[in-house]
Amino acid sequence: MTKSALQIARASYVPKIPTVFKGNIQIKEGAATASVDDQEEIKKLFPHIYGLPILTFVEAEGQAGLDTPVNVGVILSGGQAPGGHNVIAGIYDGIKRLHPESRLYGFILGPAGLINHEYKELTGDIIDEYRNTGGFDIIGSGRTKLETKEQFDKGLEILKKLNIKALVIIGGDDSNTNACVLAEYYQSINAGVQVIGCPKTIDGDLKNEQIEISFGFDTACKVYSELIGNIERDCNSSRKYWHFIKVMGRSASHIALECALQTHPNICIISEEIEAKKWSLDDIVEHIAGIIVDREEQGLGFGTIIIPEGLIEFIPAIKDLIEELNDFFAHSSDEFNLVRRSQQREYIISKLSPKNAKVYAGLPEKVARQLALDRDPHGNVQVSMIQTEELLSKMIGRKLEEWAKEGKYKGKFSPVHHFFGYEGRSAAPSNYDADYCYSLGYAASMLIAGGKTGYMASIQNTTAPADKWVAGGIPITMMMNMERRSGKMKPVIKKTLVDLEGVPFNYFKSQRENWAIETDYVYPGPIQYFGPSEVCDQPTKTLQLEQKGTL
Task: Please indicate, yes or no, if residue 491 is contained in any of the structural domains.
Answer: no
Domain boundary among 460, 485, 510: 485
Count Cβ atoms below 10 Å from residue 187 Cβ, excluding itself.
19
CA–CA distance, 164 with 146 (Å, rounded to integer):
18
Task: Please indicate, yes or no, if residue 145 is contained in any of the structural domains.
Answer: yes
Task: Please indicate, yes or no, if residue 361 is contained in any of the structural domains.
Answer: yes
Q: Are residue 258 and residue 331 in the same domain, yes or no?
A: yes
The pLDDT of residue 458 is 98
Q: Are residue 350 and residue 419 in the same domain, yes or no?
A: yes
Catalytic residues, which ones?
Answer: 203
Of 248, 245, 249, 251, nearest to 268 by C-alpha is 245
Parallel, antiparallel or unpaired: strands 455-460 and 415-420: unpaired
Helix, strand, coil distribution of the chain in percent, nearest 5 = 50, 15, 35
Look at residue 198 and give its three-state secondary structure.
Answer: strand
b/e per residue, 480-507, with b = 16+ CB within 10 A?
bbbbebeeeeebbbbbbbbeeeebbbeb
Cα distances (angstroms) measured from residue 137 to each of 107, 108, 148? 12, 10, 27
Q: Are residue 235 and residue 277 in the same domain, yes or no?
A: yes
Count Cβ atoms below 10 Å from residue 248 Cβ, excluding itself.
26
330-382: per-residue pLDDT in tens?
788 788 888 888 888 899 999 999 999 998 888 877 778 877 766 665 556 66
222-235: per-residue pLDDT in tens?
999 999 999 999 99
Q: Are residue 204 and residue 141 in the same domain, yes or no?
A: yes
Q: Are residue 163 and residue 259 in the same domain, yes or no?
A: no
Q: Are residue 360 and residue 264 in the same domain, yes or no?
A: yes
Q: Are residue 159 and residue 261 in the same domain, yes or no?
A: no
Q: Are residue 235 and residue 112 in the same domain, yes or no?
A: no
Task: Please indicate, yes or no, if residue 11 is contained in any of the structural domains.
Answer: no
Cα distances (angstroms) measured from residue 514 to each of 225, 267, 283, 291, 308? 19, 10, 21, 11, 21
State pTM to two decimals. Answer: 0.93
How far from chain centre, in Å, is Cα 146? 19
Q: Which helix (H) or strand (E) holds 337?
A: helix 316-337
Task: Please indicate, yes or no, if residue 493 is contained in any of the structural domains.
Answer: no
AA letter at 484? R
17-76: per-residue pLDDT in tens?
999 999 899 999 999 999 999 999 999 999 999 999 999 999 987 666 788 999 999 999
Task: Please indicate, yes or no, if residue 495 is contained in any of the structural domains.
Answer: no
Q: Please name the residues in contact with 305: beta carbons below 8 A apart, sequence gap of 6 or more.
A: 242, 243, 244, 245, 265, 266, 267, 268, 269, 288
CA–CA distance, 323 with 304 (Å, rounded to integer):
31
Mean pLDDT over the full length of the chain: 94
CATH number of the domain that residue 379 is part of: 3.40.50.460
Domain that holds residue 209: 27-56+68-216+429-485
Burial class (CB in 10 A: 0-12, 13-18, 19+), 512: middle
Strands (DSSP E) found in 229-373 = 242-247, 267-268, 303-308
Q: Are residue 414 and residue 536 in the same domain, yes or no?
A: yes
149-190: per-residue pLDDT in tens?
999 999 999 999 999 999 999 999 999 999 999 999 999 999
What's the rounded mean pLDDT across residues 303-310? 96
Q: Are residue 469 and residue 393 in the same domain, yes or no?
A: no
- Greatest alpha-carbon pair distance for the chain in Å reads 82
Of 329, 218, 337, 240, nearest to 292 by C-alpha is 240
Parallel, antiparallel or unpaired: strands 194-199 and 242-247: unpaired
Q: Are the C-beta atoms of 72 and 120 separated by less than 8 Å?
A: no
CATH number of the domain that residue 476 is part of: 3.40.50.450
What's the domain count of the chain?
A: 2
What's the rounded mean pLDDT across residues 327-331? 82
Of 182, 172, 103, 99, nearest to 141 by C-alpha is 172
Q: Are residue 167 and residue 259 in the same domain, yes or no?
A: no
Parallel, antiparallel or unpaired: strands 470-475 and 455-460: antiparallel
Q: Are residue 258 and residue 247 in the same domain, yes or no?
A: yes
Task: Please indicate, yes or no, if residue 439 is contained in any of the structural domains.
Answer: yes
